[in-house]
Amino acid sequence: MNNIEKEYQRWLTSPVVDEESKKILRNMKQDEKEDAFFKNVEFGTAGMRGVLGPGTNRLNVYSIRKVTVAFAMYLLKTFPKAKEEGVVISHDNRHQSREFTLLSASVLNDFGINTYIFDSLRPTPELSFAVRYLKACAGIMITASHNPKEYNGYKVYDETGCQLVPDKIKGLLDIVAFLPNELDVTYVPEKIKGKNVVLSHEVDDEYVRLCESIQIHPELDKKGYKIVFTPNHGTSYVNSMRIFKDLGYEIYPVLSQCDPDPDFSGTLSPNPEDQRSYIEPIKLAQEINADLVVMTDPDGDRVGLAYKHSDGSYQTLTGNQSAALLADYIFSERKKLGLLSKDGVMYNTIVTSSLGEEVASYYGVKTEQFLTGFKFIGNRIDYYEKHGGPKFEFGYEESYGALIAPFARDKDGCQAILLYAEMALFYHLQGKTLDVAWKELNERLGWHADKVYSIEFKGPSGQANMNKIMKELHDHPLTELMGHKIYKVEDYLKLERNDNGKISKIDLPKSDVVKLFLENKCTVAVRPSGTEPKVKFYIGAVAKDEKNAEALPDELYKEIKRVLAIND
């Protein structure tokens, strides 16, 4: 009997597993069985995310219970006042999110730890804020972010409202590894249990107030400027609508996407990176002749943007494009008002476009880059606040997430869509559409085109293929692509930078990423996704004109697939 069959039988015969789960197990096809049992669902540096259902490679009450037991043990070991300070828990709109929230609270209460939950779903950035506001020792967010409806997830936050960075999460991972399997975990509840408190709307009020305070030009005339908004059935509807209405914006919600529906029945995709998520919002925009479309993903941390082009059509912006435009607007206007720090810093990641750094440099703002995962940005904000600077000015990831003011320590969709609306309105009042603003920015700093490609690898054979591709890149670094010399290779697994033969160390945590720098100013970064069975290719091009810049990423992607013998 192979290991997959052994694990399957363990679940099927266990008295712990509920009958409904066993029914699903009995009806599994062979490929479904293999995917559900070929490994344990991983609790990594980005938390835990996976497909819902029975199995070791699935999210269910058993896997959630085990990791919450481990988190309780970790907190009691780490924080002397963990029981009193407590844990804030929030959740998104997904299947079993409320159930997982109440289960997590119950387990923590059994360990004597107080918990604070909301009366219903709330955005991830508000969870981050609430941890700080309540001075809790930790937070839990039950969410699968922008993943398809079959998924859910579990993210953990420290006392600063930031997701646990690797050196902090190691202690938790050690406990997870030490515990028995998900069906055999047991514990003796404390005699004095922790209290579970349902939070009042005071937290919402303060979060909304702080979001509204980030405006740079609150005086802009908003009359007649129409904005379409969708929360993609997720968590940000109430807060975002309140913010827009408080500040006088003419806002039109996509009503078919406002209910917190776990099946996302009103959209073909809840992911702002997916063009299908813009179909309904743009349809409404066309009906009412709107100027702008803004959206958040289900847990309210990522954002999407579409705008009325100068030719009258509606066009979308990538996360790299929208963030570069927003950084330019923020730095420019803060500088005019004397609000830009002389010791300012912007944060992004190693896979974001080089345009962001060039924008920051133009205004005298430094840039620091981190691995993907906003926790690294949140952690550095906290570090610099405690050590006297530099001052945080802006932070973003290419994956459609940004943070303007650090009262939250995660990317914040409510903040971002407000500032995107202000930026677009600012240009509108000057007679400019966003494509004109984008053109002016690129003509000033050079034409940039950045695209993200991904290839999915399912099941055990897919995992093996992913590992093979990454091993090839680590073991046999490429020296040229399309006839262009690769003059620098950054290997984040080896933490080594080879710049024309000069070797230096990379001062970041280890990560399975390889980044190539070509002599024609193009870059290629390759990494496995931390949340889905995919390999991602981040390709950035710089050219003298738009046409050449736009053509290069597709050409480079085709070439690197050929070199690595990938058929997708």
d(CA 188, CA 195): 17
d(CA 114, CA 105): 8
Q: Known catalytic residues?
A: 145
How many other CB atoms sit within 10 Å of the CB of residue 219? 7
Query: How many angstroms from the chain centroid is the CA of residue 227?
Result: 24
202-212 and 124-133 helices, crossing angle to 10°: 110
Torsion sign (Cα): 102, 106, 109, 111: negative
Torsion sign (Cα): 455, 457, 462, 468: positive
What residue type is 113 in one-letter code?
Answer: I
The encoded tokens of residue 116 equal 């604070």
Helix or strand run (H / E) with residue 455:
strand 447-456
Q: Tell me the CA distances in angstroms from 474 to 200, 466, 532, 539, 545, one per residue in order.
A: 51, 13, 21, 18, 33
- First-to-last alpha carbon distance for the chain, in angstroms, is 32
User: Under 8 Å CB-to-CB from 47, ≥6 apart: which residues?
Assistant: 153, 154, 155, 156, 163
Query: How many angstroms from the chain centroid is the CA of residue 116?
Result: 23
The two beta strands, 484-491 and 480-481, are antiparallel
Query: How many angstroms from the chain centroid is the CA of residue 52?
Result: 20
**Tell me, what DSSP letter sits at residue 334?**
H
